[in-house]
Structure 1
Amino acid sequence: MSSGSYAVSGATQLLNFGSFTSGNTQFSLPIRVDALGRVEVAEVAVQSIARNEDDQAVMRYVEAATANATRKAYQGDLRDFLAWGGLIPSTPEVLAAYVAARSQLHAPATILRRMIGIGRAHTSLGFPDPAKADLVRTVLRGCRRLHGKPQRQAAPLLRQDLFPILEQMSGMRGLRDRALLLLGFAAALRRSELVGLDVEHLEFVPEGLLVHLLRSKTDQSGCGRKIAVPFGRTAACPVKAVSNWMAAAGIGCGPLFRSVSKAGAVSARRLSDQSVALIVKRNVNVIGLPKVAYSGHSLRSGLVTCAAQLGVGLMKIQEQTGHRSLNMLSRYVRDANVFENNAAGCVL
């Protein structure tokens, strides 16, 4: 176990004994003060610092308030800053020096995310956020101008590429991959949403299939939403693909998409997020597409791109994808229609 230490003033009494405190909500890390008055942040699970049932109840809800991935990212940001030699609280001058040093190693987007994590470390302990200082923001702008590059986007898996892929599939793995690719495409699901589906989340109706999505990246509160997946007009029908996979694998409850051995044995183990990316990459490679350009997100972006090319309205696409705003969705639509009524094409 490693720990980071940093100086603190006026907060030692509040943070003594590594107890859970209201000032340590984002990191969920035990905090203690050493003999020199420095605060130590130990990398252990939040449950290890629960002293009674009341603590455990509060911590359970604190953990639920922040996604695990977000909490881990904040912890990693703080660890990197401390490993570089930073202290909490930090001055804007020190944080600006950290940005300048790390800009030689990381993309501006990574640096910006770390500023958020380090800022949260300050505000969680009651200190002002040095990342908001004009000096730090100016250095960040300079970093983006000197080292900025376009964000890499996964290539969309288009309908005309998906169909040839489906023709190459066989066996139990083929049935699973067919169902996974078609449902992920038709419902525009993120990979975490796709592998998180249970049979109980599916409702077969006369029009096709209703997917009851209980939680998603943009719905951490679990309000949930329904996604309609109609019967396909071609042999590539997502509803039939899911039904055939469930019947062949004998799945009546629990995880929908599970690991399958080379011999075709279906386990009870749910696929991981990364499995979706690997399945997409493996199958696009079969038809000669560069697998490095594709990821699990290619299914979601593929549906948006194809729908935009066919003239489907933004509101109907948003209804399928669940985007909270049209800004991100508009980027996909612009990419899909760059040649439509193109100014150069109309003139030359």
Structure 2
Amino acid sequence: MDNSKTLIQLLRNDYDGLLPVDLNSSSQLSTYIQAATSQNTRKAYRQDVQHFIAWGGLLLATPEIIVRYLHEHAEILNPRTLSRRLTALKHWHVYQEFSDPTLHPLVRKTLTGIQNVHGRPKEKAPAVTTEQLTLMVRYLKQQDTLQAWRNNALIQVGFFGAFRRSELANIQWENITFVAEGMEILIPRSKGDQGGEGQVCALPYGDKALCPVTALKTWCEKSYIESGFIFRAINRHEQMSYAPLTPDGVSLIIKSIAVECQLPHAEKMSGHSLRRGFATETSKKGAPFVSIMRHGRWKH
């Protein structure tokens, strides 16, 4: 079977009918190829191509029209966003078996120039310290609401598990095992495990001030969660959804708690602040670098 036709069939779904519809493929092989790229990446590529078309771009695209697109968005969009847009256009053309217009020297030079003029180093999210985490937990424990119980578990599990925000949002009851020493959380798939082998994060019991295991147990008892997603959306009427928080929602919660606690640089905190905080704090206490990397599921 012609693998290129399978790729074209795959991209048909990703680009909403922009690809030929007269090519057939093996559904099983399409599944494997689709799994090579994360769902979030495919969604981003779809949106990128749609943005290009909405602006007035045509498919097939020429180097000249792409340069115009870059020029008109140079002062509006982040250079990293423009770079991803080019990658999306590249995929569209390659999987259509057309030449890649983004490889043209004029396109590459234009993007490089935009990066040199408008690019700036990505600002790192401030790391949450153990003292700051204690303040946040103490603040939340003063409130007897579903949101407070959820948020208490969210920030403690996020910190001590060094979870990415997407990992936190996707934790499910079925993936949690409570053991004598604490609990184990199975992460079926993550950014550092695109192969889908699965990774286990072990969290021990803490003390009275900070304990992710107790916080999570309390949240599940208060919310009566016995299946499905653990960290769910809750509206202002304290009505809980079955749907999980989004990764952006996780970041907003962490930032809002930091602001309410009047922590330094609270406005710059994000979902990465907990993960970075764990690495920073454990490193200060002398934990081996390899152990920190392994626990946080960072690639060596």
Confirm or deny that 1:214 pairs with 2:188: yes
- 1:280 — aligned with what? 254
2:199 to 203, 219, 225: 225
- 1:138 — aligned with what? 109
8 Å Cα contact 2:169-2:247 kept in structure 1: yes
The 5 A counterparts of 1:242-321 are 242-260=216-234, 266=240, 268-289=242-263, 290-321=265-296
Distance 1:316 1:296 in 2: 22
For residue 94 of structure 1, report the CA deviation from its aligned partner.
Answer: 3.6
For residue 233 of structure 1, report the CA deviation from its aligned partner.
Answer: 4.2
2:66 to 85, 90, 95: 95
8 Å Cα contact 1:27-1:75 kept in structure 2: no
Q: Which amino acid aligns with 1:238?
A: P
- 2:100 — aligned with what? 129
Q: Which moved more, 1:22-31 or 1:153-162?
A: 22-31
8 Å Cα contact 2:177-2:183 kept in structure 1: yes
Q: Which amino acid aligns with 1:323?
A: W
**How many pairs are equivalent?**
291
- 1:328 — aligned with what? none
Higher Cα radius of gyration = 1
8 Å Cα contact 2:7-2:33 kept in structure 1: no
Q: Quick one: higher RCO (CA 8 Å, sep 6+), 1 or 2? A: 2
Unpaired runs of 5+ residues, structure 2, are: none
Distance verdict in 2 for CA 1:26–1:320, change over 3 Å: farther
Q: Which amino acid aligns with 1:138?
A: K
8 Å Cα contact 1:24-1:125 kept in structure 2: no
- 1:23 — aligned with what? 8
Superposition RMSD in Å: 2.9
Distance verdict in 2 for CA 1:269–1:146, change over 3 Å: closer
Distance 1:115 1:263 in 2: 43
- 2:298 — aligned with what? 323
For residue 211 of structure 1, report the CA deviation from its aligned partner.
Answer: 1.0
Distance verdict in 2 for CA 1:166–1:134, change over 3 Å: same
Distance 2:282 2:104 in 1: 44
Distance 1:105 1:265 in 2: 38
8 Å Cα contact 1:27-1:71 kept in structure 2: no
TM-score (ref. length: structure 2): 0.84
Distance verdict in 2 for CA 1:24–1:139, change over 3 Å: farther
Distance 1:215 1:322 in 2: 11
What are the Cα deviations for residues 269-324 of structure 1, in whole angstroms up to 9, with x where unaligned?
Answer: 43333331232122111211354211222211221222223232221111111122
What are the Cα deviations for residues 235-274 of structure 1, in whole angstroms up to 9, with x where unaligned?
Answer: 2011111122222333222222234455656554433333
